[in-house]
Amino acid sequence: MNAPRSLLRAAAAVASLLLAPVVLAQPHPDALRLLDTWLAAQQRSLQLPALSVAVQQGDGALWSRAYGFVDAARQRPARGDTLYGICSISKVFTASAVMRQVEQGRYALDDDMARLLPDAGLPAAGAEHGALTVRSLLTHSSGLAREAAFPYWEPPAFNFPTRAQLRATPPEALSAPRQHLHYSNHGIALLGELVERQGGLPFGDWVQQQLLAPLGLKDTRPLLPAELLGTRLAQGWSAPDRQGRRQPVPVYEARAMTPSAGFSSSVEDLVRFGQWHLQAPVAAGVSPLTPAGRREMQRVQFQDPQDRRLRGLVWRLADEGGERVVMHDGLCPGQVSLLALVPQQGLALALAVSANHSAWIDDYLGRPARQLLLRGRSLSASDPGLREFAGRYDESPWTSETWLLPWGERLLMLSLPSADPLQEATVFAPAGRDAFRVQRDDGSLGEWLRFERDAQGQVRRALMSHQGMPRVERLAP
């Protein structure tokens, strides 16, 4: 039986994936291959209608892949430039627009919003607390309620308020500013109103002219282009019911809430936008923000006194394994997305899915993908001789599919689907002709992995603990 081998592999999964560091201008090709293989399995196992991913490190080439289909008839494959509703990632574009106006001298981050928008019904500065400022809105520490007083997240209409309706509805203040981190879509919508009034143009037009066009973001819009649904714009889907069925979700128009939740983009454009925030030069030569302005957005601006969460200017900040991660996710009706940056490594990662899911996208896609790419930094150059052993192996009934892939100078074994590919992978070091052994993190060696060849000399089967599994798919060129 194969059960003992599966248990042995689980115990051996603590084997180290680290080798001597090699400085890379872009993610290691073995890490990208593993990411591609893992995401394809995630898309199938989670029954995600469409999934797109893009990665870029420094000035290296932009890498993207896509899985599934964008239309209900499953005729149009998803692509790296497929459009998705990015919902709350819209806030990063709005914050960038605000910072542009700050750098233009129109107002300051610590200006009182009640003075800048005197007819918005905002609370005035009190004797015991300071003013509700531009900065407090950008850090979600304004004390304002999460939503405006309209039921715009209710299906099937998703009836968002107009600007006139929002202007006539003062926001609800739950606490004084700078007391707690309390996420507020209404607060960011007010900043969109500020951008519009200060810029002298409708919010979407100003953002297009002052931000999107100079950055060359041709797939990013301050709206969801309903006319492209099922061709360029992915059809959105609900979370599955108990029978696993998803329902199509209509395209919505965010209207006055566009600054908070109304943009659409592709993962390729999101990575380009992320690289600009990581100080990449602008092709046109004129950046909408100075490097100092972009750094200011990523700096810790507020920490919740209770749960210690960190915020920059709209960016969510976290520390993972000694690396600062700067990110924002988007959760829309029928669409979810993530943009994550690792400034010290110059890494930008974007993911988008055309369906709702009960878990947070960073948990089931983002964090594992990010950690996989970062671990790839430590790999040595890939050994081309390992490709003859690589491919998909049949380990049924124990796993759905098992892959052996080159991992620098070693082989990596991973059964899919997997919630955490790095933790669940096993790494093998070469140990003679057609033979490898588990390598632990202290360098000691464990169980053998051997290969059998057919009459033509091609690898046909792998054996571990004397139990065999045939190869059913070779690694693509």
Distance CA 200, CA 177 (A): 28
Q: How many CA atoms lie within 13 A of 407 on its CB side?
A: 30
Distance CA 444, CA 435 (A): 16
Q: What DSSP state is assigned to residue 270?
A: H
What's the pLDDT tens digit per position in 295-319?
Answer: 999 999 999 999 899 999 999 999 9
**In the predicted model, what is the mean pLDDT of the chain?**
92
What's the pLDDT tens digit per position in 111-131?
Answer: 999 999 999 999 887 656 789
Residue appearing with tokens 């209770």? 306
Between 234 and 378, name the one with better pLDDT.
234
CA dihedral 403, 369, 54, 232 (to 10 degrees): 80
SS3 243: coil
What's the pLDDT tens digit per position in 379-415?
Answer: 999 999 999 999 999 999 999 999 999 999 999 999 9
pLDDT at residue 9, as a whole number: 47
What's the pLDDT tens digit per position in 230-271?
Answer: 999 999 999 999 999 999 999 999 999 999 999 999 999 999
Check whether 28 has a pLDDT greater than 60: yes
| DSSP states along 285-325 | S--SS-HHHHHHHHS--EE-TTT--EESSS-EEEEETTEEE
Task: Kindly give, in sequence order, each residue whose CB lies less than 8 Å from that of residue 120, ignoring residues fewer than 6 positions away.
Answer: 113, 114, 167, 170, 171, 190, 193
Distance CA 18, CA 372 (A): 11
Of 214, 320, 318, 204, residue with least CA distance to 273:
214
Percent of the residues in the chain that have a pLDDT greater than 90, as a whole number: 87
Of 103, 130, 66, residue with least CA distance to 287:
103
Check whether 96 has a pLDDT greater than 50: yes
